[in-house]
């Protein structure tokens, strides 16, 4: 079954997707987090013909809780050396000596200033507090060192949250026990994306920014907290599954905000902002999640144990590889 899953690959209709063989480093991610920032710095090495003599940064943000990040490259003899990690291993940095290449991962949930009150299992003791007009300095302070950035939103934004603007509460998403007016998820997400794109488009530094769209989960028979699971072993056929309403709505907001940002000030933003729409190809892969294997050997003690399924994060090899191949195509063709 595993071997079969490893064989699946994605290719657009009537379009041959060539492999980026001249790019020697790929990012392999077992599970993705909201606010993960992956920073790539390339040297003058001739191995990186796509961007000669230019530092490259890739910022990747997506939805999840808990993280295991795998790193890999196309040359097996190229081994990264970890040069930094924080106490929780959420922010990390690796150096590839043979290529003078550095990869940094910065933990920045939501990309905006946020007070988060939950553990790694997603259990909350209070509502998250999100400042929709204030970005997280963990990534903005490094922004000027990035030449290429991949950025994305994710399903963390579906969590219960209190929204603040100018340090004043303006509403809440699903807070029935609080005396706070409901602010629609659509409105809040638009404000947040507007703040992010506003920073990017008004910055004097102009890296190429690739925005990767929303990706769906594939919980069936319930949600993550109510027995939902994803036990399919093959991809969906085209139009077999159209996704959840909320996924389509959030992606629509992203497309609208991206289009507004890309065309706001003319051709300069249009040339340095690029869209990587991975929604449809991810939608087709209900078989690409860890499922009950969210933790290591979950059935060792009890073969019939009821375990929480993970139908949000992604396995390797799998869908993430395709995202990376498409990202590398955008970068190397720039």
DSSP secondary structure string for all residues of 260-328: HHHHTTSHHHHHHEEEE--HHHHHT-TTSS-BTTTSSSTTSS-TT-----B-SS--TTTHHHHHHHHHH
How far is the C-alpha of 235 from the C-alpha of 146, rounded, in Å?
Answer: 36
Asked if 274 contacts 220 with a C-beta cutoff of 8 angstroms, the reply is: no
User: Does residue 63 carry a pLDDT above 70?
Assistant: no
- Asked if 318 and 5 count as a contact pair (C-beta separation under 8 A), the reply is yes
Residue 124 DSSP label: B
Nearest to 160 by CA among 118, 192, 198: 118
pLDDT digits (tens, 9 = 90+) for 67-123: 223 334 434 456 788 988 989 888 887 887 887 777 777 788 799 999 998 877 667
Q: Which residue has the higher pLDDT, 250 or 4?
A: 250
Report how far Cα 61 is from the mean position of its chain's Cα atoms.
3
Mean of the per-residue pLDDT values for the chain? 78
The candidate with the shortest Cα–Cα distance to 150, out of 106, 203, 93, 212, is 212
Q: How far apart are CA 13 and CA 322, in angstroms?
A: 15
Predicted local distance difference test score (pLDDT) of residue 214: 93
Tokens coding 135: 């970005």
Q: Collect all residues with Cβ–Cβ distance below 8 Å to 46 and sequence separation of at least 6.
A: 52
User: In terms of Cα–Cα distance, which of 34, 36, 52, 47 is closest to 103?
Assistant: 36
Give this prediction's pTM.
0.80
| Nearest to 223, CA basis, from 268, 159, 132 | 159
Rounded CA-CA distance 99/102 in Å is 9
CA distance 307 to 189: 32
pLDDT on residue 18: 55
H helices, E strands: number in the chain: 7, 13
Which position has the higher pLDDT, 24 or 308? 308
What pLDDT is stored for residue 134 in this prediction? 97
pLDDT of residue 28: 31
Q: How does strand 81-85 pair with strand 69-73?
A: unpaired
Give the Cβ contact number of residue 301 at 10 Å: 7
User: What does the alpha-carbon distance between residue 108 and residue 44 come to, in Å, rounded to a whole number?
Assistant: 29
Residue 216's φ and ψ, nearest 5 degrees, are: -85, 160
pLDDT at residue 17 in the model: 55
Q: Say how far apart CA 204 and CA 280 lie, in whole Å.
A: 34
Rounded CA gap, 308 and 319, in Å?
22
3-class SS at 332?
helix
- What is the reported pLDDT for 14? 53
Strands 161-165 and 128-135: parallel
Residue 322 pLDDT:
86
Residue with tokens 């051709």: 267
Please report the pLDDT score of residue 290 as a whole number.
94
Confidence check: pLDDT of 173 > 70? yes
Residue 9, pLDDT score: 60
Angle of the 245-263 helix axis to the 185-202 helix axis, nearest 10? 30
Q: Taking residues 262-281, what's their average pLDDT?
A: 81
- 8 Å CB contact between 292 and 307: yes
């Amino acid at each position: 079954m595993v071997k079969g899953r490893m064989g699946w690959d994605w290719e657009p209709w009537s379009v041959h997707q060539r492999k980026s063989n001249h790019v020697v480093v790929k990012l392999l991610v077992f599970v993705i987090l909201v606010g993960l920032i992956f920073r790539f710095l390339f040297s003058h090495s001739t191995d990186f013909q796509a961007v000669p003599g230019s530092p490259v940064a890739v910022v990747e943000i997506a939805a999840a809780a808990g993280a295991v990040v795998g790193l890999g490259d196309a040359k097996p003899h190229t081994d990264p050396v970890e040069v930094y990690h924080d106490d929780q291993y959420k922010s990390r940095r690796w150096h590839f000596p043979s290529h003078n290449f550095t990869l940094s991962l910065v933990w920045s949930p939501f990309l905006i200033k946020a007070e988060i009150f939950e553990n790694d299992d997603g259990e909350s003791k209070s509502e998250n507090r999100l400042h929709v007009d204030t970005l997280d300095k963990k990534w903005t302070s490094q922004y000027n060192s990035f030449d290429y950035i991949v950025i994305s939103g994710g399903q963390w934004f579906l969590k219960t949250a209190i929204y603040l603007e100018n340090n004043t509460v303006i509403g809440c998403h699903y807070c029935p026990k609080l005396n706070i007016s409901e602010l629609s998820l659509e409105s809040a997400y638009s404000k947040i994306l507007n703040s992010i794109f506003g920073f990017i488009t008004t910055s004097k530094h102009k890296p190429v920014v690739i925005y990767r769209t929303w990706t769906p989960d594939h919980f069936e028979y319930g949600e993550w907290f109510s027995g939902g699971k994803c036990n399919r072993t093959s991809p969906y056929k085209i139009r077999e599954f159209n996704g959840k309403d909320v996924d389509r709505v959030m992606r629509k907001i992203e497309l609208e905000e991206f289009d507004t940002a890309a065309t706001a000030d003319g051709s300069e933003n249009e040339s340095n902002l690029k869209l990587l729409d991975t929604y449809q190809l991810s939608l087709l892969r209900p078989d690409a999640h860890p499922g009950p294997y969210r933790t290591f050997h979950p059935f060792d003690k009890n073969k019939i144990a009821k375990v929480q399924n993970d139908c949000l994060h992604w396995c390797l090899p799998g869908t993430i590889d395709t995202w990376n191949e498409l990202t590398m195509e955008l970068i190397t063709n720039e």
